[in-house]
Homo-oligomer: A and B are copies of this chain.
């Protein structure tokens, strides 16, 4: 395979409130500088630099967010932004992008990846994508990356690996036995102990023809209307009627020709404020400061601080707090209650929608 065959699809249509007040309706997580000094979507593109040029990166997002995508990626060709009229989970997004890539390069291989993960280092990530591409071409495989678990996470889905089916340099490809939903604690511990289970990172690599064939077989209700619509024509009418199904369920759980490539470099989906220390090295007192703010810390430890731009955050004698200042809002809560941010967001829906 020559490098001209590689495409990437970045899924950037997500919304979410777990990073409120930094993430807002109008600026979801993928536009925040989490894990680096640039927005996550920009870091996602930079992570492909040298492997896939911007001309062959498609970004799928909503109409509301398209302008922000181009602000974060000023060199991205405008025609590479695919706008979904409404969000319908990942299967329609994957199908829409695959059809567009098929038009441009029917023999291509492409990677599908979320815009809001932290992955390091770039070199190992790219090496794993090369291995995945080789596996995808070896025998028309639907390839997914499986992250070696480091603790019994209950917040991730898992991939059960089976027999090894191929080797690609340092990477091994295994048959996928099953996809597992987010487990309870005990089952997560069993997964970790077995060594056969990997976190589902939601990153896929396949030949464009392979995934389109799988969609035709397992999700014709998604693919056929999109094929009939043609690109950006009639999407407004078709899209809301498509089932809002994850590609994992619509395709991966149905197919047989699926491989998982275990990886052990750093991957994090940074699901909430309390995940920040995973991707932002804490200082000697366990304080994690990110977003660009200057921090002035006196006798404070274990805090997670996010502030944007040319601002100052001063802490005196506080421990284990999450402190976020973003735009017109400030959030202060203990780390172990950060998940209750969603309650605040719910209340705001009733009492203060301007701050959503």
Contact = CB atoms under 8 A, between A and B. Distances in A.
Interface residues of A, number: 34
Given A312-B348, A312-B352, A314-B330, 18 more contacts: A21-B312, A296-B348, A296-B351, A296-B352, A307-B330, A311-B328, A311-B330, A312-B330, A313-B330, A313-B332, A316-B331, A316-B333, A316-B337, A316-B340, A316-B344, A317-B333, A318-B333, A321-B332
A352 to B, nearest CB: 6
Interface in A297-355: 298, 307, 310-318, 321, 323, 325, 328-334, 337, 340-341, 343-344, 347-348, 351-352, 355
A193 to B, nearest CB: 34
A337 B312 contact: no
A56 B158 CA distance: 78
Considering the complex of A and B, which 4 residue pairs feature the smallest CB-CB distances, nearest first? A316-B333, A312-B329, A312-B355, A317-B337
A294 interface: yes
A314 B296 contact: no
Contacts of A348: 296, 312
A311 B329 CA distance: 6
Interface string A55-92: 00000000000000000000000000000000000000
Interface string A26-43: 000000000000000000
B330 A330 contact: yes
Interface of A: 21, 294, 296, 298, 307, 310-318, 321, 323, 325, 328-334, 337, 340-341, 343-344, 347-348, 351-352, 355
A206 to B, nearest CB: 43
Nearest to A315: B332
A315 B330 CA distance: 8
Contacts of A312: 21, 328-330, 348, 352, 355
Given A298-B344, A348-B296, A314 B337 contact: no
A298 B352 contact: no
14 contacts: A296-B344, A296-B351, A298-B343, A311-B329, A314-B329, A314-B330, A314-B331, A316-B333, A316-B344, A317-B334, A317-B337, A318-B334, A321-B332, A325-B330
A248 to B, nearest CB: 33
A112 to B, nearest CB: 35
Most buried by B among A296, A329, A330: A330
Nearest to A316: B333
A288 to B, nearest CB: 15
A328 B294 CA distance: 10
Given A21-B314, A352-B294, A330 B340 contact: no
A341 B316 contact: yes
A315 B298 contact: no
Nearest to A318: B332
Contact of A321 (B21, B318, B325): B318
